[in-house]
Each structure stands twice: as C-alpha cells, then as structure tokens.
Amino acid sequence: MSAVSATARLQRVGTRAAPLAGLAAVIVLAAITAPGVFGTDNLRLILFQAGLIGITAIGQTLVLLVAGIDLSIGAVIGLSTVIVASHTDGRAGALPVAIVLAVLAGLAVGIVNAGLVVIRGVPPFVATFATFVLVQGAITAATRGAPSGEIPDALAPLGADRIAGIPVPLWIFAALAIAAGIALARTTAGRRLYATGSNARAAAMSGIRISWVVAATYVISALLAVLAGLVDAAYVGHVDAQLSRSLNLDSVAAAVIGGVALTGGEGTIAQTAVGTLLLAVLLVWMLELGAGAGGQLAVEGAVILLAVWLQRRGILQTKTSGG
C-alpha cells in the first residue's frame, strides 16, 4: 500500500470516528454542566428519544444513501396518530383496523414521493416537502386544527413500556437497525442501493433498476414513519403535532451527524445509530439547561453544519491525497 493510499484511508477512518468522539464529548460536557442530565428519568427520556428518532432515521438513511431526502416523515407520523385517534376514539377493539388504515396511508405517501422523484423527476427536497405540506394541510382541514379522539390504552406498551429497564422503542430501533445493517452490508439489495447512490448512471448501465431501488427507499421510509407515529401516540397518549414535525429535522440530523453523506452512497446504519444517540443526549442536555424549542433547533442546526463541514473536509482531503 502506498503512502498516499494509507494517508487517505487514515483520513476516512478519522472522519468516521468523529461521531464517536463527538458522542463522548457531549456526554462528558453534559455530565459536567448539568449533573442531573443522566438521572433515572432523564436517562429513560434519552433512551426513548433515541428509539423514536432512530426508527425514523433508519428510513431517512436509506433515502440519503440514494442521494435523496425525505421531508414528509413528520407529516406521516402526524397522519398516523390522527388516524388512530380519530378511528378508535379510545376503543381497543378498533385498533387493528386503525393500524391497517395508518399503514395504507403511509404507503400511499411513500408511493407519491417515489412517483414524484422517480417518474416526474422532481428534486427530492421539493417533492417530499410538497407532500409534507399537502398532508399537513389535509390533517388541519379534516380536524380543523384540533384533532379529536383518544389513543387506546392497548397501544401504550408500544411506547411506554420497558423491557429489562430499557424503553420498548429502543428495542424496536435496535432490532430494525440490526436487520437494516445486515441487509445493506450482506445482501444484493444493499449493494444495489449503494451503487445507485454512488453513481446512478453506472449502476443503470450495470443492469440495476435504479428507479425501483430509489422508489423502495421512499416507501420504506414512509412505513417506518408510520411505526414511529404509533410509538409516539402510544407514549404520549394523544396527538402531538409539534413532536411529529420536529422529527423531520431529527431524522436527517441523526443520519448526517453519524456520517451519512447528503450526496449519497456513503454511510452505514451503525453510523446513524451513533448519530441518533448523540442527538438524543444533546436534546435532553439542552432541555436540562433550560433551552427552549428555539434553542434546541439552533444547537441542532449548528451540529448538522459541523457534521457536513467535517464530511466535506474529509472528502476534499481524500481527493487531494489521491484516495
């Protein structure tokens, strides 16, 4: 191996290790500036948020890997909770049908996103943001801004229960992350997805049906958003529109902070998991310090910018080194 190649590889390793270093730094700083941040209640909140954000971040990661972005996740979460609350009105017997309706609604949104991006050629940012606005508008029109209905208690274990002291949503995220990680690393579908994100034209010339690959990521992202909506509803017990909207940014932030490239073809589920945990700790730390929603958004935005800057710096250094 040449000295140039070795230097480039070290630079790539350093870039990938940055999220772990950032997580360690945030944990230390949080413990110093807000000693109560890792108390029992806050620790449970961190783990719950990691699970909820992580579920959406897996879908967002798949979309980012094909050089897309999904800004409709928050709308799908909100739509799912509204459907469950409105259809069941607290009745456990109506829950199975409500879940099916929520899944169908999420599937429809995913197909619309895929159609706009793949068939119509609409830029992913524009397509998914338009879908977000459309769905949010439909929710507001249907509910007149005040969603009615109650979440059945039968759904509560999905969001509020703990297994071995760990919130159920984190277990769900862990299972999905392992499955997605194996699929990306060990299967033909995973290799096709990376190839599509790295160079769509070359992937198409090699026989990969890139339109189907891209479409699948948007559908999977929407279905995972439905699951996140059910978890959110189960935990909160009512429709929480503000939280669902924030998960748009959170899902992107978790992936990008972990090192998933916005340009496609670069990143892993393991990196997203690290970014998710870092973001969950950061949000609870800001909450403990008394930062409002605006302060949390400002810090989150700054961290995203730092992560993107580190990515770009690593790419430029690699190209300069000839890697």
Confidence tier at 95 by pLDDT (50, 70, 90) = very high
Report d(CA 129, CA 234) in Å as an integer. Answer: 26
Q: Give the tens place of pLDDT for each residue, 124-167.
A: 999 999 999 999 888 887 777 665 668 888 999 998 899 998 99
Report d(CA 226, CA 187) in Å as an integer. Answer: 25
**CA nearest 45: which of 271, 281, 290?**
281
Residues facing residue 166 across a β-bridge = 163
pLDDT: which is higher, 312 or 11: 312
Q: Give the tens place of pLDDT for each residue, 285-298.
A: 888 888 777 777 77
| Side chain identity at residue 228, one-letter code | A
pLDDT of residue 73: 95
pLDDT of residue 205: 93
pLDDT of residue 243: 59
Q: Give the tens place of pLDDT for each residue, 231-281.
A: 998 988 777 666 566 788 899 999 999 989 988 999 999 999 999 999 999
Residues facing residue 27 across a β-bridge = none
Q: At what angle do helices 3-33 and 293-321 cross, to 10 degrees?
A: 160
